Amino acid sequence: MSSVVTAKDLSLTFATSDGPVHALSEVNLEIEKGEFVSFIGPSGCGKTTFLRTIADLEDLTSGTLEINGMSAREARQARAYGYVFQAAALYPWRTIEKNIALPLEIMGYSKPERDKRIERTLDLVNLSGFAKKHPWQLSGGMQQRASIARALAFDADLLLMDEPFGALDEIVRDHLNEELLKLWRRTEKTICFVTHSIPEAVYLSTKIVVMSPRPGRVTDVIASTLPDERPLDIRETPEFLAIAARVREGLRAGHSYEE
Amino acid sequence: MQKVTSKRSLVYHGWITLSATLLGFVFGTSLGIGLALFIVYNSASDRSMMPWIIASQTVPILAIAPMIIVVLNAVGISGLIPKAIISAYLSFFPVVVGMVKGFRSPEAIQLDLLHTYNASPVQTFIKLRWPIALPYLFTSMKVGIAASLVGAIVGELPAGGGSGLGARLLAGSYYGQTVQIWSALFAAAALAGGLIIIVNVVERLTSRHMGVRPA
């Protein structure tokens, strides 16, 4: 297996008016092709910052980061990843199909190719029939699905997802988690997924990265022993609960509540 | 009974004023958008230009209008253009202020999204900054078109004896023709109302095309 993301001693410090903030400190991590990696940790542990660094939305201060053997900037210029934000960030003046077309227009795909890809990705996220709707006509969960479709529309093998279901209620979230797993298996993409829900992380991932704040660092990397086929009720099995317990332990060890 | 196109008709004078207003409005709006672009894309001009733009609006238009007419007349430009320039002088201001705000209205997440696509600055402008600024443009244009009309009328005052609603106002006050003054004022008000309605209609059509949620 080849590695998609390799971070070595990666550190990132933000200069603020109150002095430097160490968002990430000596993060070492390897993500292999086809993995589903969750990043979990309390607010301020740098999980989103790490994702944004991979996406070249933040600049690292020291260490190295390689994506498909390229620097983060080169990877972005090569359009190596799709990014799903916390909010759907659909452009309200564009219909759903036009929103999905946005990256394709920018990357210069032809009109017939765009139409083909829009149809395929809408089908992938079960939104066929909503192509001509505007974002406000869709529920929050559907909007987030549309934004996933947008990230899948072009040929990036890496999908970066920053708490995509954080704002949704639990029922919708369960449903989308199930769909996301199916989608991951069907598309064989590598997914980096930021969350602060333990069940979500354990349910989705092949590898769970536990992080702790101040400075943001990796405290544990847990390889999941769960089978590939995961019905929702797998969450009641002892195996699932054991992994969840280890994640919780890692979170507790790395986090001091005294602050 | 005379024809409505006769030189004694308010329709004739209204048309003279309207053509200066529209030309000035087009000048002013274009200038306003251009200046806003310059300010948004050049941080040095942001700090250096805004004070001058604001200062330009503190100069009484009644003082500056005759000078523009006289100066342009000296270089052989008269008639419609000088009036349109005065009209543009008043109408560019709301457009600059509104469009600077509009071009800067994208949220960080919307800009980040384009950054992940490695979009060029031109693409960022066409796909995000321009469409998101359109509601600001219409608000500015409503203020701007009213200002354009005032500018055109003021521009007609120093010309004296000529045509246009401003000239009718001045002539009316010279000769104590109260009815003539009032009629010109009402014609100007009707003109302003009509222009605002047109901007509103265009705004509504654009909103519908852009799928804005009906209020």
DSSP H or E segment with residue B51:
helix B43-58
Based on the number of CB atoms within 10 Å of its own CB, is B170 exposed (0-12), middle (13-18) or buried (19 or more)? buried
CA distance A81 to chain B (A): 8
Which among A155, A178, A197 is the end of a domain? Answer: A155
Domain assignment of residue A187, given as a range: 3-80+157-254
Count H helices and E strands in chain B, helices first.
9, 0
Residues of chain A whose beta carbon is less than 8 angstroms from a beta carbon of chain B are: 55-57, 76-77, 79, 81-83, 85-87, 89, 91-95, 102-103, 105-107, 134, 136
A149, A174: one domain: no
SS3 state at A32: strand
The top-level CATH class assigned to B10-209 is mainly alpha
pLDDT tens sequence across A81-111: 999 998 889 999 999 999 999 999 999 999 9
Spell out which residues of chain A touch residue B112, defining contact as CB-CB under 8 Å. 57, 83, 85
A21, A76: one domain: yes
CB-facing half-sphere around the CA of B64: CA atoms within 13 A: 16
| Residue A89 to residue B132, Cβ atoms within 8 A | no
| Residue B118 to residue A92, Cβ atoms within 8 A | no
Query: Residue B40, Cβ neighbours under 10 Å: how many?
Result: 19
pLDDT tens sequence across B61-96: 888 888 888 898 888 888 888 899 999 999 999 999
Q: What is the mean pLDDT of each run of 10 residues along chain A (259 residues)?
A: 82 86 86 91 85 90 88 88 91 93 92 92 88 91 91 88 86 86 87 90 90 84 84 86 88 64
- Residue A103 to residues A120, A154, A238, B89, B152: CA-CA distances in angstroms? 15, 7, 43, 40, 46
| Residue B211 to residue A76, Cβ atoms within 8 A | no
Query: Which residue has 């600001």 as its token pair?
Result: B136
CA distance B132 to chain A (A): 8
A204, A250: one domain: yes
pLDDT on residue B210: 85
Looking at the structure of chain A, the number of domains it has is: 2
Mean local confidence (pLDDT), B125-135: 94
Which among A155, A179, A206 is the end of a domain? Answer: A155
- Tell me the domain boundaries of chain B: 10-209
Spell out which residues of chain B touch residue A132, defining contact as CB-CB under 8 Å. none
pLDDT on residue B1: 63
Q: Omega of the bond prior to A215 within 30 degrees of 0, cis?
A: yes
CATH at A63: 3.40.50.300
Q: Token pair of A239, please? A: 């195996």
